[in-house]
Structure 1
Amino acid sequence: MKKWKKDIIINVPIEFAWPYFYGDLEKKKAIFPKIIDEEVLKETHEVEGTIIRQAYKNGSIDESYDLTIKKFINEPNHKLVQEAFILNNMFRMKVDYELNSVDENQTRFTYRSVNRPRNPLLSLFQLFGKDDVIIRFMNRTKTNIEEAYNSNGVEQDVIVTSGENEVAQEK
């Protein structure tokens, strides 16, 4: 099992950032470029328990998986969607996309995931897993959401934090 947790400040209001994680497929594609389509298979009134078939492009192959929304919070200053799915028929994934309002123009985005291999041998390979893919995702998310929000196109520094460690990357 591998766990990840990363935080980043996005310089937009929380309500602007939220549709990129839940509810607007076109905005979601801006931060998840491999997603092709989503189809709701089962919808619940509480959102938790909703099942969505998500189609994505993996190289030249179109694939899909069913994700279940396990947790859902949509409050003015705190938003969270937790998705569970099986990736490539090899990994049980649980992913949290959490947004907390820092102030009226800044949102803290926290990414958490737990990756459980379905085959015990895959656990050995996870020991060597690095967080490069997650850092690229966090930076792409920050950049794409801020660019959509800022019409003046001013670039800003990107800082990804993990606990007490900080990794600053310049554009």
Structure 2
Amino acid sequence: MKKWTRDTEINAPIEQVWKFLDGSLENMQKIMPQVVEHKRVKITEKVVGSVYRQKYREGKRTEEYDIETVEYLNEAIEKKLKVGFTLAKMFEITAFYELNKINNNKTSFTYTVTSRPIKWWFLKLLLVFATDKVVVEFLERDKKVAEAETGR
């Protein structure tokens, strides 16, 4: 299993950053432009256990997978969202987003991704091709979009 964790401070209120993760498809696409569809499959009262079917476009190829909410916290000063899904029948992925309010106009954002190969021979692919580039680019894009929308 590979794990990447990166964090950044964003000059935007916590609610501004959160809406990209826990909001509409339109808001989600601002930081995840490859997501072309995000539909409810099963919604639970406590959010944990909810399932969404998501379509993700990479070049000409579109992947479809179900994303399950594994952890969820939506408080005024702290927000967490952890989701899990299987990518291309090859890897089990978790994405964990943690937001903490620093002050009214600044948010700490920690992003952790894990990737576990489903079959042992996929491990070689993971070891050769897996880098933290996607994690770093995601955080940079989120920071840029959130700060642009708040005029910072």
Q: TM-score, normalised by structure 1?
A: 0.84
- Aligned partner of 1:162 in structure 2 is none
Structure 2 CA distance for aligned equivalents of residues 106 and 65 of structure 1: 33
Mind listing any 5+ residue stretches in structure 1 that lack a counterpart? Answer: 155-171
- Aligned partner of 2:81 in structure 1 is 81
| Larger CA Rg, structure 1 vs 2 | 1
Q: State whether structure 2 residue 148 is matched by structure 1 residue 147.
A: yes
- Aligned partner of 1:38 in structure 2 is 38
Farther off after superposition, 52-61 or 128-137: 128-137
Paired letter, 1:138: L
Q: How far off is 1:25 after superposition?
A: 1.4
- Aligned partner of 2:13 in structure 1 is 13
Residue pairs, 1:60-71, within 5 angstroms = 60-71=60-71
Structure 1 CA distance for aligned equivalents of residues 48 and 12 of structure 2: 26
Q: How far off is 1:127 after superposition?
A: 2.8
Structure 2 CA distance for aligned equivalents of residues 123 and 63 of structure 1: 20
1:103-141 per-position Cα deviation (integer Å, ceiling 9, x unaligned):
111001110111100121222333343212211111111
Residue pairs, 1:146-165, within 5 angstroms = 146-150=147-151
- Aligned partner of 2:137 in structure 1 is 136
Mind listing any 5+ residue stretches in structure 2 that lack a counterpart? Answer: none
Paired letter, 1:92: E
Specify the SS of the correspondent of 1:92.
strand
Q: How far off is 1:14 after superposition?
A: 0.3
1:36-90 per-position Cα deviation (integer Å, ceiling 9, x unaligned):
1111110100000000001121211222100000000000000011000001111
Residue pairs, 1:88-107, within 5 angstroms = 88-107=88-107
Paired letter, 2:135: I
Structure 1 CA distance for aligned equivalents of residues 92 and 2 of structure 2: 11
Specify the SS of the correspondent of 1:76.
coil
Q: How far off is 1:18 after superposition?
A: 0.7
CA contact (8 A) 2:17 2:142 kept: no
Specify the SS of the correspondent of 2:135.
helix
Structure 1 CA distance for aligned equivalents of residues 108 and 23 of structure 2: 19
CA RMSD of aligned residues (A): 1.2
Structure 2 CA distance for aligned equivalents of residues 89 and 33 of structure 1: 22
Q: How far off is 1:142 after superposition?
A: 0.6
Q: TM-score, normalised by structure 2?
A: 0.94
Paired letter, 1:126: L
Paired letter, 2:146: I
